[in-house]
Amino acid sequence: MKKRLFASTLAIALLFFLASCGNGSEESNSGKDSPLTEKEVEELYATPEKFKGRSVEILGVVFSEPERDGDGIYFQMWADPVNSEKNTVVSSSDSDLKLHDGDYVKIVGTVGKPFKGETLLGEKITAPTIFADSVDVVTYQEAVAPAIATYEFSDLSQTQLGYTVSIKKVELAERETRVYVNVQNHGSAAFSLYSFDCKIVQDGKQYDEESNFDADYPEIQSDLQVGASTDGIICFDQINNSDFKIVFEAGSDNWDETINPYTFDVVLNQ
């Protein structure tokens, strides 16, 4: 609701505001050679006028469909996608830019004159404006939960009766743990492995799957026919950068087959 209120109230005002400011070249000065630090980016949302003319790099998510005219494209983004906060107004001269509501982006540009507006409820809004030199669409991982450590495996695989489960990669992030899984069915019957039945055990603590609907990660297919394979990412809460165990419960449609849990001891920092 908050997102849509901003979008419906400010879209036209933003279009005229940014168009009247031109392409932002008059906003640049020698300070552009001094990019905003991480601390200054935080201060930008309290006192945006203080940083006019400075260069900046910001990651975030677009909310509402961008507006376009002959001079470029204009849109709003949350620089804090998790909490839908830090509204940022962006202008780009690239009219052909393919950008939509919900896209995660990395913006590099120059801070302009702060935008001041008002919602339908009369709430006053002040937001930084960025005249973008570049706008790149990025992944959820890059914008919200970049990997702190990444581990790839070529031999972390187990097979029972022709049913193979493999761990290809593990990414440890500040907000989550991502386990990249491959499943192959070369057995005699349909094979079932459900991500919600997967558990991580580390330092005496158990972690269940944590679905991340915002990320739209590829999911493993739960019911796999003979000869088929599937790849996906299973998410868990953030864990420590140390060894852990992961257990996959699975089964087949052949009731005469006994399939034990696939249990992996994942060794990190070898």
Backbone angles phi, psi at 5, to 5 degrees: -65, -45
End-to-end CA distance of the chain: 48
Q: How far apart are CA 100 and CA 164, in angstroms?
A: 39
- Tens of pLDDT along 176-209? 999 999 999 999 999 999 999 999 999 999 999 9
- Helix residue ranges, H only, the chain: 2-20, 38-44, 140-143
Backbone angles phi, psi at 239, to 5 degrees: -120, 175
Is 91 a residue whose pLDDT tops 70?
yes
- Tens of pLDDT along 11-46? 545 554 555 555 444 444 444 557 899 999 999 999
pLDDT value of position 95: 84
Tokens read off for 67 = 């507006």
Neighbours of 70 (CB within 10 A): 6
More confident residue, 270 or 65: 65
For 3, the 3-state DSSP assignment is helix
One-letter amino acid at 128 equals P
Q: Cβ distance 251 to 192 under 8 Å?
A: yes
Task: Give the pairing type, strands 129-138 and 85-92.
Answer: parallel
pLDDT value of position 29: 46
- Taking alpha carbons only, the member of 68, 67, 66, 40 closest to residue 55 is 40
Burial 217-254 (b: 16+ CB within 10 A, else e): beebbbebeeeeebebbbbbeebeeeebebebebbbee
In sequence order, the β-bridge partners of residue 236 are: 177, 209
- Taking alpha carbons only, the member of 75, 185, 210, 84 closest to residue 131 is 75
Those residues with Cβ within 8 angstroms of residue 211's Cβ, 6 or more apart along the chain or in another chain: 235
Give residue 270's pLDDT band: very low, low, confident or very high (50, 70, 90). low
Q: Cβ distance 227 to 188 under 8 Å?
A: no
